[in-house]
Amino acid sequence: MGDRKKARDEEFQSFVVGRWPRLMRTAFLLTGEQHAAEDLVQTTLEQVYVAWRRVGSADDPEAYVRRVMINAHARRHRRRLKEFLAPKDDSGLAHEVADTGDRISQADDRGALLKALAQLPARQREAVVLRYWEDLTETQTAEAMGCSVGTVKSNAAKGIAKLRAIPGLAETVTQGGRK
C-alpha cells in the first residue's frame, strides 16, 4: 500500500512540474496579480491532490484541473474579492512610445491588455483567457467553465467586443502592423 501511495505521489509531482508554467499563466490571466495567481494554483492543486486517484485516471487530467481552477476562481469572485490588474490611476505618468520590435513596447502592450482584461466581467474574462490564450476549443472551454458552448461563444464574443472598443488597446494592438 505504501508503494502505491508513493507511485501516486510521484505521478502527481510529475504532473505538477510539467504543467506548472501553464497553470500559472492561466491563473495570472484570470486573477491579474502574481500573488493571487499563485494562491489560485496552490488552492487548485490542494484540491486536486486529495482527489488525485480520480483525477490521474481521468481521460484528460489537465482539463479536470483547469475546471477545478475555474471553479475556485469563481468562488473567490463570488465573495467579491477585488482583483487588481493595473494601478487605478496612472494618468499623471508620461508614456513613451517605443519601436514595435522593442521589448519595452511589448511590455507596454501587455500592460494595456491586462488593464483591459481587468475591465471585463469574470465570465467574459474566463472565456477570453481560455479560448484565446489557452487556445482551447469551444467545447473544452465550456467544460472548463461548466456551461454550454453557446454561453462560451456569447461570453467570448462580448469580451472581445469590449476589448476592441477600448481605444488605447486597439491602437496598441494594431500599432506597427501587429495584431
- Amino acid making up residue 52: W
Q: Which residues contact 157 (CB under 8 A, 6 or more apart)?
A: none
- Looking at the predicted structure, is the pLDDT value of residue 106 above 70? no
What span, in angstroms and rounded, lies between the C-alpha atoms of 69 and 4? 26
Radius of gyration of the chain (CA): 18
- Looking at the predicted structure, is the pLDDT value of residue 2 above 70? yes
In this prediction, residue 102 has a pLDDT band, given cuts at 50, 70 and 90, of low
Q: Is the Cβ–Cβ distance between 48 and 11 less than 8 Å?
A: no
* 132-156 confidence digits (pLDDT tens): 888 899 999 999 899 999 999 999 9
* 49-83 confidence digits (pLDDT tens): 999 988 888 888 888 999 999 989 888 766 544 44
Q: Which three cell numbers stand for residue 143?
A: 467544460
* 167-179 confidence digits (pLDDT tens): 767 665 444 433 3
SS (H, E, C) the chain: CHHHHHHHHHHHHHHHHHHHHHHHHHHHHHHCCHHHHHHHHHHHHHHHHHCHHHHHCCCCHHHHHHHHHHHHHHHHHHCCCCCCCCCCCCCCCCCCCCCCCCHHHHHHHHHHHHHHHHCCCHHHHHHHHHHHHCCCCHHHHHHHHCCCHHHHHHHHHHHHHHHHCCHHHHHHHHHHHCC
Residue 122 to residues 62, 74, 82, Cα–Cα distance (Å): 21, 8, 11
